[in-house]
Structure 1
Amino acid sequence: MTSEDPHRLEAGHLPTPFSADEIRAATPQGRTQVVRTEPLGGAASTRRVRYVEPDAEGVIQVRTSIGEDGEDQDAPVRERVTWRDLQSHASYPADRTSLERARLEHPLGDLDCVRYTMGDGDAVDTVWFDLARPGLPVLLESRRGSDLVLRVTLLSDEVDPG
């Protein structure tokens, strides 16, 4: 992280949409997100990510696969992550990534986002982050040529401290 910009983690990378401190402030005990993953030619899956025991350094993510009925499909997986770890997932190399503001019509509403588009040959990954929702992207799309090979959508983002 450069000392002058908490959004830039590495030289040669674009700034991240949120600093580690902004993600921490937006992630209280019980923040719960539901994410849908749809791979080309594979079975779609949905997982719940619940954030528990946050402190100044990080948080525990409790991840569970859930079925179409919303019920858990397997045992929860607990993993301790730092706020900087979470921020680093949005640090992209500047030499092959463009960054722009964009409106996105999304299941969570009409969102004011920043959009990162990374290209490497015919592989293009586009990631949208809702500026009002520090943390996970609200949408990720991976294309290989004209084929959409993966879509990951944030379906919900709520806080239930219980």
Structure 2
Amino acid sequence: MAADSRDAYVLGPGRAPTPFTAGQIRDATTVGKSITRRVDSEDAESFLLISTYLACDADGATLERSRLTLDGEPLGEPQVFTTTWLDLQGHASFPAADTTIEPERIRTAIGDLDCLRYTVRDGAADEVFWFATSLPGMPIQQETRTDGRVVTTVSLVDYTLTQPDS
């Protein structure tokens, strides 16, 4: 998937602009960056989802994704995978006709953050993503709404950015 040459935020015809470019995500990510989110769903037990960057280079990163109970007990083995910065940007590329983008300031576990709220309509369902403008990368909050009812939330619990040794 190649970025549109006119706009690095738009990944193709009919796509809404992404909140960050691949380069912005790369530049904001170092080895050791760790993002902990709490996942709550009406159909399952709540759990923590931790994404940690194990390696980073000019092309992409190796991440470890772990699931834990709210008490910190592992839920299965961690998953390790390699991805490109462009693939990470692509996770926030939505159909333009179904997407609204609005600024919003929200309260999180790490303080109040200015965000871009992406609402993506898919029939009777909405996926709502809040991307903190100061933290290029994955959304810091997410909701799935069905017929106007929130059925799943994903909320930032902790964000750790390890600085490289100088």
TM-score calculated relative to the size of structure 1: 0.93
2:21 matched to which residue of 1?
A: 19
The runs of 5 or more residues in structure 2 that have no matched partner are none
Q: How far 1:144 moved relative to its partner?
A: 0.6
1:78 matched to which residue of 2?
A: 80
Q: How far 1:66 moved relative to its partner?
A: 1.9
Determine what percentage of the aligned residue pairs are the same residue. 36
What does the per-residue CA deviation read over 1:35-54, in whole Å, with 9 as the maximum and x for residues that have no partner? 11111131111121110110
2:55 matched to which residue of 1?
A: 53
Name the CA shift for 1:64/1:120 in 2 (closer, same or farther; >3 Å): closer
RMSD over aligned Cα atoms: 1.6
The runs of 5 or more residues in structure 1 that have no matched partner are none
CA distance in 1, matches of 2:32, 2:23: 18
| 2:98 is the counterpart of 1:96 | yes
- Aligned pair count reads 162
2:116 is aligned with what amino acid? Answer: V
CA distance in 2, matches of 1:94, 1:68: 36
| 2:40 is the counterpart of 1:38 | yes
2:61 is aligned with what amino acid? Answer: V
CA distance in 2, matches of 1:146, 1:117: 12
Instruction: Name which of 86, 89, 92 aligns with 1:87.
Output: 89
2:10 is aligned with what amino acid? Answer: R
Q: How far 1:62 moved relative to its partner?
A: 0.6
Large movers: runs of 4+ above 6 Å: none
What does the per-residue CA deviation read over 1:59-104, in whole Å, with 9 as the maximum and x for residues that have no partner? 0011111232335443221100110111001011111111111111
TM-score calculated relative to the size of structure 2: 0.91
With 117-126 and 19-28 compared, the bigger mean Cα shift is at 117-126
1:12 is aligned with what amino acid? Answer: G
